[in-house]
Amino acid sequence: MSDPRLAAAWALLPNYLGQHVLLSASALLLGLAISLPLAVAASRSAAVRWPALLVASLVQTIPSLALLALFYPLLLALSALSLAAFGKGFAALGFLPSLLALTLYSMLPILRNGVAGLTGVDPAIVEAARGMGMTDRQRLFQVELPLAAPVIMAGVRTAAVWTIGAATLATPVGQTSLGNYIFSGLQTENWVFVLFGCGASAALALAADQLLGLIESGLATRNRWRVVAGAVGLVVGTLAALAPLGLTAAAPARYVIGAKNFSEQYILAELISDRLKAGGAAAELKEDLGSSIAYSALKASEIDAYVDYSGTLWDNILKRSDNPGRQAVLQQLTAQLKARDGVTVLGSLGFENVYALAMRRSEAEQLHIKTLDDLAVHAPQLTMGADLEFLSRPEWASVQGAYGLHFRKQDQYQPTFMYRALTSGQADVISAFSSDGRIAADDLVVLGDPRHALPPYDAVVLISPKRANDARLIGALKPLIGKIDVAAMRAANLTVDRDHDKATPAEAAKALAAKLGL
């Protein structure tokens, strides 16, 4: 039996693998180029050694996902500076932040082994080299580096395995990698994808480790053939992995469509990209972006379009906590985002995806909870399950302020697992999304918000400043405005999120388009 998900995974492999290899090989080469000279300097001077090793060790203590995420705002600020100074910015999303973070991450093992290898050379051999009249440079290249080479290669091996593993975490900052299988698989509960991504990344790491190991043992035993075989294997393997990228690079993607990290976003991004492709344009997806990363990437024109929600923008971008009503929020957003950031709000898709607190119907009925006011009474005995960002968003602050909610315990989950936690009883209340198909499927009730603490969340299409007057993009997206009602969206989301007979986001997008008659 061949699983269609497996076929889908294989079809994506050339691009994901090529991007993954490109990223990790570049990071490793850059890491080597920085760490080796640094190791030489550190081996000769204690004043360089301890600060260099300390910084490299500190970098290692930063969780790799956080390190990748931190480079985005840093590069964004640098890009803004460069734009102001030289009239030219650069892409702060995707390849560059991933490259820099992984480079830093690769440095410690190379640096540490480099220093150990170079300072571990027998002092008698160093004295002989000096006594014969070698200059410092000749001693380094003819004696110390050849003798330290096996130890240095062992460090490079460790660095390669770490870098290839950590490169899967580049997906959330917009760099395609084997991590795309893992992140989207985790979100849509496509375990075939998750396993495929893990397996591919592990196989890649193992292959690199074996080839580098061949070089290492060749250096240690002075067996030239092993060194040559390992090096040829690495070069051929890298080129073979990169070849598909060269082929696709011939037809560069024109439009970049962003998506945050949940099913509805994947489906809508696929829908938009399908519309562009139908119009003869090329489109590329950048998925799994964090909420605020998505908006700032759009503002910087690094992505051309994505779907966001009016309430999210209202609270998080405009920092408003009042609630003047659905239409007023939309109007003010449209005017202010344009004036502030040059971002175009093309219009609402026609449905709302409200942040809403939801409970199991059975428990809500048993406790007679219908609204957030009722919930506040029982909250101290209940456990709240939230998605990864809700508890740090201003919406939560205003709900908490308006109703005085205090739970016994608050846990955070990936959206998929949050629903699981609720149905399994690990959570009593969750921060649900009203367009989510699982509300009906899991028999949940959405609690009323009589004090209007939560703003309206119309799904709106945003367009970057660069594409503000792009007739082709606007022409492709205009027909979507006002067309998607909440029932259609919920149904599409459920086909991706349910346990059996799952559809991929791309299939769900095609089905949705057909249903809308587009």
Partner 1 sequence: MAGPIIELRGVTKRYGQLTAVDALTLAIEPGSFTALLGGSGSGKTTALKTINGLVTPDAGEVRVDGRAIGDEAGWALRRRIGYVFQEIGLFPHMTVAENIGVGPSLAGWDKPATAARVAELLKLVALPDGVGARLPAALSGGQRQRVGVARALAAKPAIMLMDEPFGALDPVTRDALGRDYRALHEQLGLTTVMVTHDVWEALLLADRIVVLADGRVLADAPPAKLLAGHDDPRVQALMETPRRQAERVRAMSEGA
Select 130 or 408, whichever has its Cβ closest to partner 1: 130
Contact 28, 163 (CB under 8 A): yes
Residue 44 engages partner 1 in binding (rule: CB under 8 A): no
Q: Which of 156, 136, 121 is nearest to 35 (CA)?
A: 156
The tokens for 39 are 């190791």
Select 81 or 132, whichever has its Cβ closest to partner 1: 132
Q: Which of 105, 104, 106, 107 is nearest to 35 (CA)?
A: 107
Instruction: Please identify which residue in 87, 133, 252, 280 interacts with partner 1, judged by CB under 8 A.
Output: 133
Q: Which residues of 112-124 are buried (b: 16+ CB within 10 A; e: fewer)?
A: bbbbbbbeebeee
Question: CA gyration radius for the chain?
Answer: 27
Least distance CB 118 / partner 1 (angstroms): 14
Instruction: Please identify which residue in 11, 124, 250, 339 interacts with partner 1, judged by CB under 8 A.
Output: 124
* Cα separation, 22 vs 36, whole angstroms: 21
Task: With contacts defined by CB under 8 A, name the span among 122-130, 210-218, 346-354, 374-382 that binds partner 1.
Answer: 122-130
Least distance CB 107 / partner 1 (angstroms): 26
Least distance CB 222 / partner 1 (angstroms): 7
Least distance CB 231 / partner 1 (angstroms): 18
Instruction: Please identify which residue in 99, 143, 166, 297 interacts with partner 1, judged by CB under 8 A.
Output: 143
Residue 46 engages partner 1 in binding (rule: CB under 8 A): no
Select 220 or 397, whichever has its Cβ closest to partner 1: 220
Neighbouring CB atoms inside 10 A of 209's CB total 16
Instruction: Please identify which residue in 29, 54, 58, 125 interacts with partner 1, judged by CB under 8 A.
Output: 125
Instruction: Please identify which residue in 127, 322, 365, 443 interacts with partner 1, judged by CB under 8 A.
Output: 127
Residue 313 engages partner 1 in binding (rule: CB under 8 A): no
Residue 223 engages partner 1 in binding (rule: CB under 8 A): no
Q: Which residues contact 424 (CB under 8 A, 6 or more apart)?
A: none
Task: With contacts defined by CB under 8 A, name the span among 112-120, 138-146, 367-375, 464-472 that binds partner 1.
Answer: 138-146
Burial of 27 (0-12, 13-18, 19+ CB in 10 A): buried
Select 131 or 517, whichever has its Cβ closest to partner 1: 131
* Cα separation, 194 vs 476, whole angstroms: 33
Contact 264, 491 (CB under 8 A): no
Residue 327 engages partner 1 in binding (rule: CB under 8 A): no
Least distance CB 135 / partner 1 (angstroms): 5
Q: Which residues contact 212 (CB under 8 A, 6 or more apart)?
A: 153, 156, 157, 160, 230, 234
Task: With contacts defined by CB under 8 A, name the span among 98-106, 135-143, 308-316, 351-359 that binds partner 1.
Answer: 135-143
The tokens for 21 are 């290899």
Task: With contacts defined by CB under 8 A, name the span among 123-131, 206-214, 260-268, 380-388 that binds partner 1.
Answer: 123-131
* Cα separation, 366 vs 437, whole angstroms: 24
Residue 122 engages partner 1 in binding (rule: CB under 8 A): yes
Select 133 or 252, whichever has its Cβ closest to partner 1: 133
Residue 231 engages partner 1 in binding (rule: CB under 8 A): no
Single-letter amino acid, residue 45:
S
Instruction: Please identify which residue in 4, 74, 81, 138 interacts with partner 1, judged by CB under 8 A.
Output: 138
Least distance CB 133 / partner 1 (angstroms): 3
Judging by DSSP bridges, how do beta strands 283-289 and 305-309 pair with one another? unpaired
Dihedral sign computed on CA atoms, order 494, 495, 496, 501: positive
Select 146 or 246, whichever has its Cβ closest to partner 1: 146
Number of residues that bind partner 1 (CB under 8 A): 19
Burial of 335 (0-12, 13-18, 19+ CB in 10 A): exposed
Select 222 or 466, whichever has its Cβ closest to partner 1: 222
Residue 142 engages partner 1 in binding (rule: CB under 8 A): yes
Instruction: Please identify which residue in 45, 57, 135, 392 interacts with partner 1, judged by CB under 8 A.
Output: 135
Least distance CB 211 / partner 1 (angstroms): 22
DSSP assignment string, 310-367: HHHHHHHTS-------HHHHHHHHHHHHHHHH--EEEEEEEEE--EEEEEEHHHHHHH
Contact 93, 303 (CB under 8 A): yes
Residue 391 engages partner 1 in binding (rule: CB under 8 A): no
Least distance CB 116 / partner 1 (angstroms): 17
Contact 196, 181 (CB under 8 A): yes
Residue 166 engages partner 1 in binding (rule: CB under 8 A): no
Instruction: Please identify which residue in 87, 131, 252, 280 interacts with partner 1, judged by CB under 8 A.
Output: 131
Site residues for partner 1, 338-357, by CB under 8 A, read none
Residue 217 engages partner 1 in binding (rule: CB under 8 A): no
* Cα separation, 45 vs 285, whole angstroms: 48
Longest alpha-carbon distance in the chain = 92
Contact 371, 358 (CB under 8 A): no
Residue 8 engages partner 1 in binding (rule: CB under 8 A): no
Contact 110, 156 (CB under 8 A): yes
Select 101 or 143, whichever has its Cβ closest to partner 1: 143
Q: Residue numbers of the site for partner 1 (CB under 8 A)?
A: 122, 124-135, 138, 142-143, 146-147, 222
